[in-house]
Every structure is written in C-alpha cells, then in structure tokens.
Amino acid sequence: MSDLFAPMRGLSLRLRLVITLLAGVAFGLGQAPFDLTGLALPALLVPFLMLSPEVCRRQAGWIGWAFGVGYFGTSLTWIVNPFQVDAATTGWMAPFALVLIAAGLAIFWAMPFWLAASSGLRWLVVPLWTLAELSRAYILTGFPWGLVGYVWTPTIGAQWAAVIGPHGLTLLTLTIAWLASEVSRTRALPLGLAAIALAIGLIGGGVYLQNRPIAPQEGTPKIVRLVQPNAPQDQKWQRDMIPVFFNRLLSFTEVGPRPDLIIWPETAMPMLLNNAEEALGVVSQSAGPVPMIVGIQREDDGRYYNSLILQDASGQTSAVYDKHHLVPFGEYMPFPDLFARINVGGLAQRAASGYSAGPGPRLLDLGPLGKALPLICYEAVFPQHAKTGGSRPDMLIQITNDAWFGTWSGPYQHLAQARMRAIEQGLPMLRSANTGVSAVIDAKGRIVDSIDLGQAGYIDVPLPAALSDTIYSRSGDVPLLVLLLGLTLVGALRARSNSH
C-alpha cells in the first residue's frame, strides 16, 4: 500500500485548505435530508490525511477550521430561513448569519487540530475533537446541532447511541477514520485490524441492538393523535389567517373515533393562556373526553413564556410546562439593551426582552398512558434534556414549530435528532410539528407513521412500547468525559516528556 501522505507533502497550504473545505462539504452531505453516509465517511479521512507530520500547528488549525467551515456551511444552510420570514426587516442578516455561524462553529474543530499538532501527537486530535463536539452542547448555552456521530442516523449504526450516546458515536467515528488514515501512512497491520474490528463491531452491534425484543403491551394499545395545521410562519400570525389555522386544528381534533390523547404543536393557540379561557372551551368541546397537549404562550408578572399545557378529560388545564432552554437570538437576545440600540431583536420573541426560561424539566401525568417528558422545539436537540434525573418517563413528547426552518434541510435534521433522542433513552417519541414533520417514533428510533412536511392533517397511531433502561439513559456522558479527559492527560504528559 502506498503512503497517501507522500503526495500531501508537496501541497501548498492554500491547496490543502481548498481540498479540506470541499471534503467538509461532502461530510455535510451525510446529514439529512441527503443522508449520504457512504460519501461522508470517506470525506472524514481527508482532514486526518492533510494533518501530515510536517504540518505546523498554525497550518493544522487552519485545516481543522476549513473542514468545519465546509461542513457547517453545508449542513446549516437552513439557518437563513428564519431571517426570511420578515425579509424586509431581517432578510439582510441571512447571509451574515450563515457565514458567521459556520466560521464560529468551525473554531471548535480548529482547536483540536492546533493542539494535536502543538503536542506532536497526531492521535490526540481524536479525543480533543470529541471533547470539542461535547462542549458544543454546553458552551454559550450550547448548540449541538449536527454532531459528527449523527452521520450514522440513517443506518443501524445509530443504535449504538443507546449504549454510548451521540458523543460516544462521535468518538467511535473519528477513531475509525483516524485509524484508516494512519494505516495508509504506516502500513501497520495492527492499526488496520483495529479499524476493521471497530467497523464490524459498529455494524454487528447495531444489528444486535436493532433486534432487541420489545415487551408486548398489556391490554388494548392506547391511540395517540398528532395534529399538523401547516401554518407557514409568514402567515401564522396574520389576522385573517389565524381563524383559518385554528379552525383547521379543531376540525382535525373532532374527527371520530376518539383517540386516547391529542397533541397540538408549539404555539398552536393564537392567544396567550391568560386570555384563552373561551378558546380552550371550544378546543375542549372538539376533543370531547380526550386529554390534550397544546402549545401556547403565556404571561406571568410581565414575563412571557413559550409553554405547553395539559388539558385533562374534563377540559381543565391540569399542568403547565414552560420551555427552559431558549434559542439565543431567536426567543431572547443576550445583552438586550445593547442590541436594542441598533434595533435588532429576537426573531421569535414575544416582548422586547424576549421570553423567560422555565424552571426546568418536568413530567406530565397522562393517566393510563403513563408519564411523559415534554420538550418544546429546540430542547430536543440536546441529549442531556431527554432525561429528568429522577423517575423515568414512559415516552418523550416534542411539540415544535419547524416553519422557522423552511422547507429544506432544517425540519428533516430536527426530526433526525428527535429519532436519536428516542434511541438514546429507549423511549417512544411523539412529535407534533406545525408544518411537519410530525411523527410517531418508536423506542429504536424508527418512524412508525408521519405527516409529510408542508401537509395539513392528522394521524392516529398506537403508542409504541418503551424499552428497558438503556445504558446511556443511566450513565449519560460522564464515562465518556472521564475517558476523554484521561486520554488528553496521557497525551499532555507524553508531549511534555517528549519535549525534554
């Protein structure tokens, strides 16, 4: 086998960066709606191949950054859509938003390459890159959209999320890619065998996890109805369109035979909860003796909340959940006084100061259906929000308004991440989206039934059964974090000893 690093050594930095950026674009095509895993995985070898031994730390940082720019610039193209809802006011921000977020997130990928080259230990890029992806879930309120490990979402490899979580999948993916690149340089048989063993284990383990038996449910299956009104964001709050969408919701709700639970999407009610008594009475009449979950906004002591309510079988509001992880620059503005001076406000905020965050996760008691953990829109992007830290729910429920994401990649990527939450926790996910994709997802992340993007309608689906606790649902990311910090410490000690 020839040394693939040999032709790399003659390349200028500019050419390296162009090739790496294009590889980042190809890796971005591994995300929904493309799902080109077979193209994305070979593309992931390129930044490792470009990190040849003679590359200095500055050049290595640029290589990691270029790969990130290509990846995020491709996978996050949907980010321009929220700015086009009111194009006359905010449309000018769209290209800047895409460029800035791609360039900014790429810094997370530049640092592992810079640090690995600084240490002289190329392998260190793998744990450092995984740490960088893990940190994206937390730093500056977090934005773990499009994690490296999600490249496996359309494959059976995604089932490993039940054991090692999405960040563990990232580590596994990067390790296989790094080993494959090293084999081309060193021709070391052990490295090649290790890469093959990991790949076989990923596929074989995925098959095993996919075939885990699900205990049959006792009694008659409970039927859940998801309602999708399909209200485009630029029409959703127009005075003449509000009754159109509201009546559409009501008409889908009152169709017989009655299900056991009805779920409306995020901000489905066109008024604040404070003023919704009459409208909720109409909703209750349409639902009959069926409990409902409804997305609504509310105000409390001058603070506004993006909320979800549970109306019980008698039509009374028995529980309220306030979204606790808000979208920066969407639902609230950091440093609002500063941005107010230049007349820039949150795209989806209700008041000048934006929404307020709720107190945190809570379970909803749905009676015979069990207990549900509610997630509102963006919260389903975060693996750490799909668990309560207390008693385990029987299902996850996500209500969302993906009309903000447009009609291309954003809604499908959001759906893919909802599927990952189901796999990680071993729980069914009930997902009601304003414009789609509404879906019932089983505990292995498989879509049981759905309503297509851009369609109005409803589906009645038996509630899928939950699996027993997954390893990841019990451990979270703590074991992985300990492993990554341990590997990083070993690398730092080896780098220090080599320098003396």
Tell me the H-state helices in 377-477: 409-425, 471-475
Whether 84 shows a pLDDT value over 70: the answer reads yes
pLDDT per position as a tens digit, 109-159: 999 999 999 999 999 999 999 999 999 999 989 999 999 999 999 999 999
Whether 278 sits among the annotated catalytic residues: the reply is no
Strands 303-311 and 292-300: antiparallel
pLDDT score of 227 more than 60: yes
Torsion of CA 55, 61, 67, 71, to 10 degrees: 170
CA distance 489 to 500: 17
Better pLDDT: 220 or 242: 242
**Dihedral sign (CA 11, 13, 17, 20):** positive
Instruction: Tell me if 224 sits within 8 A of 461, measured CB to CB.
Output: yes
List the catalytic residue out of 266, 331, 379, 424.
266
pLDDT at 1: 42
Which of 494, 499, 500 lies closest to 127, judged by CA? Answer: 494
Higher pLDDT, 157 or 187: 157
| pLDDT at residue 342 tops 50 | no
Catalytic residue among 133, 331, 377, 379: 377
Q: Is 266 a catalytic residue?
A: yes
Sorted by sequence, the CB contacts under 8 Å of residue 27 that are 6+ apart come out as: 40, 43, 44, 67, 70, 71, 151
Task: Give CA–CA dist 236/253, Å, rounded.
Answer: 19
To the query of whether residue 222 is one of the catalytic residues in this protein, the response is: no
Helix or strand holding residue 114 (H, E): helix 94-119
Look-up: residue for tokens 């003796």? 289
Q: Cα-atom radius of gyration of the chain, to the nearest Å?
A: 24
pLDDT of residue 185: 76
270-289 pLDDT, tens digit each:
999 999 999 999 999 999 99
Q: How far apart are CA 445 and CA 276, in angstroms?
A: 36
Burial degree of 54 (CB within 10 A; 0-12, 13-18, 19+): exposed
State the average pLDDT over residues 174-179. Answer: 96
Task: Note the pTM of the prediction, 2 decimals.
Answer: 0.94
SS3 label, residue 201: helix
Percent of the chain with pLDDT over 70: 94
